[in-house]
């Protein structure tokens, strides 16, 4: 007796804690209503509702289930011909027959023909039957496929724009989605229009892509995209009593699931700026630097203050700054430099080769030069005299230049302090 009480308490606790199990079981069982019969000619079929919506019997050789009959929960019946009949039949989404007796009979007979292979010729006399069988053959109910051909779109440069990969909305042409296109991005429908900063409707089967400026660097994610039409399915209900007919019903998902996120990847595109520093004389490359810059950004470069290469010093021809906006192409900037040379002018004593004076001048390759011997050099109180007064001229080349002028001075000093002249009478020396 004690064990019975323990079991009873356990069961009671289980039902209190898990009442939802009873509810789920009750909700899973379909509610069957028998509404009577529909007639056309010598054909008679039952009329039913399952959970408040029209349903059709298919096994006409079996009994029609009365209201309240026990049936299993509905299962999706994967048959495109059946789906087409339910979609275009009585009570369907795009019915070609009415909800009158003739339409219900045509729909029920068409389902029986496809499922059970009953194709008696007399059925063609029922209005709409032949047309429903044509749809069954075409299997042209809206596709249950609702998908994108790809969900992650990369982009590349085309002309002066970034262009994403193409993507197709894989769905029935009667289906659609709405895509909110942000600012600075354009959606292009292949064979259609282009749209920026607005919500665009994409129909099933359409291919589209996105574009943006070369300076646009965002990754866009389109979340919570929901198709306008959910998948249309054929649902079969199986009786718990094998003597009753199976029932069929078309069902559309009026709250279609959200699609996976569609991602479009853009990145700020860059171009290469090459800055060359060259010898003005022979265009020889002295230094070269490369920089990556975003397209559309500003750049500014100046020449180096000097370049030392191979022991030689190069000075910029001009210190002008080069500025601009990075275009959609690689660019090269050239700065030019002069080779700096030294001209040494030596003034030497021609007799002793002693250096009297040395002078240095900075010139650049290609410059003209002209020098003359100095006239203001002295040795003590003596003034140096140039051996030659000829100028030395020329053009500065690739080497430093040394010019030498020679000078001399008097060897002795002649000084006449007094000159005395005596004269004799005119008769001196006469006899």
pLDDT for position 290: 97
> Is it the case that residue 428 has pLDDT exceeding 60?
no
Tell me the pLDDT band of 418, cut-offs 50, 70 and 90.
low
pLDDT for position 426: 54
Calculate what percentage of the chain has a pLDDT beyond 90.
Answer: 76
Q: Which pair of tokens denotes residue 131? A: 């047309």
Any idea which fold 30-143+234-252 has?
SH3 type barrels. (2.30.30)
Burial class (CB in 10 A: 0-12, 13-18, 19+), 179: middle
Burial class (CB in 10 A: 0-12, 13-18, 19+), 392: middle
Which of the pair, 118 or 114, is modelled with greater confidence? 114
The length of the chain is: 431
pLDDT one-digit tens code per residue, 123-161 = 999 999 999 999 999 999 988 889 999 999 999 999 889
Q: Is pTM beyond 0.75 here?
A: no
* CATH H-level superfamily of 341-408: Putative peptidoglycan bound protein (lpxtg motif) (3.10.20.320)
> Is it the case that residue 267 has pLDDT exceeding 50?
yes
Least confident of 17-26, 45-54, 116-125, 231-240: 17-26
pLDDT one-digit tens code per residue, 319-332 = 999 999 998 889 99
Q: In which element (H, E) is residue 200 found?
A: strand 199-203
Tell me the pLDDT band of 18, cut-offs 50, 70 and 90.
very low
Phi, psi of 376 (to 5 degrees): -115, 20
Distance CA 196, CA 403 (A): 75
Distance CA 86, CA 94 (A): 9
Q: For residue 39, what are the contacts with CB-CB under 8 A and spacing of at least 6?
A: 101, 105
Tell me the pLDDT band of 16, cut-offs 50, 70 and 90.
very low
pLDDT one-digit tens code per residue, 331-347 = 999 999 999 999 999 99
Domain boundaries in the chain?
Answer: 1-29, 30-143+234-252, 341-408
Burial class (CB in 10 A: 0-12, 13-18, 19+), 234: buried
> Is it the case that residue 236 has pLDDT exceeding 70?
yes
pLDDT for position 421: 57
Phi, psi of 77 (to 5 degrees): -105, 110
Distance CA 222, CA 77 (A): 33
Average of per-residue pLDDT values in the chain: 88
pLDDT for position 13: 44
Tell me the pLDDT band of 186, cut-offs 50, 70 and 90.
very high
pLDDT for position 28: 67
């Amino acid at each position: 007796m004690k064990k019975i009480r323990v079991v009873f308490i356990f069961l009671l606790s289980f039902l209190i804690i898990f009442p939802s199990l009873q509810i789920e079981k009750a909700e899973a069982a379909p509610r069957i209503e028998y509404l009577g019969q529909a007639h056309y000619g010598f054909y008679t079929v039952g009329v039913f509702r399952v959970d408040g919506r029209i349903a059709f019997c298919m096994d006409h050789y079996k009994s029609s289930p009365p209201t309240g009959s026990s049936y299993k929960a509905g299962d999706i019946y994967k048959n495109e011909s059946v789906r087409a009949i339910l979609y275009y039949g009585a009570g369907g989404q795009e019915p070609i027959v009415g909800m009158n007796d003739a339409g219900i009979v045509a729909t029920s007979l068409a389902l029986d023909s496809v499922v059970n292979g009953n194709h008696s010729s007399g059925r063609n006399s029922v209005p709409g039957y032949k047309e429903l069988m044509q749809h069954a053959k075409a299997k042209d109910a809206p596709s249950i496929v609702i998908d994108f051909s790809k969900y992650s779109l990369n982009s590349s440069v085309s002309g002066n724009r970034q262009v994403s990969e193409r993507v197709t909305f894989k769905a029935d042409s009667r289906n659609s989605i709405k895509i909110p296109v942000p600012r600075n991005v354009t959606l292009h429908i292949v064979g259609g229009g282009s749209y920026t900063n607005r919500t665009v409707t994409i129909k099933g089967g359409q291919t589209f892509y996105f574009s943006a400026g070369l300076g646009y660097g965002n990754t866009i994610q389109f979340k919570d995209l929901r198709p306008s039409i959910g998948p249309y399915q054929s649902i079969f209900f199986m009786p718990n009593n094998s003597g009753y007919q199976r029932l069929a019903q078309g069902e559309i998902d009026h709250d279609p699931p959200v699609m996976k996120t569609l991602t479009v990847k853009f990145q700020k595109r860059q171009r290469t700026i090459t800055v060359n520093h060259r010898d003005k004389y022979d265009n020889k490359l002295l230094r070269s630097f490369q920089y990556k810059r975003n397209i559309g950004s500003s750049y500014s470069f100046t020449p180096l203050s000097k370049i030392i290469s191979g022991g030689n010093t190069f000075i910029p021809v001009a210190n002008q700054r080069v500025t601009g906006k990075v275009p959609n192409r690689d660019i090269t900037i050239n700065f030019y430099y002069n080779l700096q040379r030294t001209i040494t002018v030596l003034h030497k004593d021609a007799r002793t080769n002693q250096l009297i004076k040395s002078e240095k001048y900075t010139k650049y390759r290609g410059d003209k030069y002209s020098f003359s011997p100095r006239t203001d050099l002295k040795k003590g109180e003596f003034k140096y005299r140039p051996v030659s007064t000829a100028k030395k001229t020329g053009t500065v080349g690739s080497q430093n230049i040394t010019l030498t002028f020679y000078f001399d001075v008097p060897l002795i000093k002649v000084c006449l302090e007094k000159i005395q002249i005596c004269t004799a009478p005119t008769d001196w020396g006469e006899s």
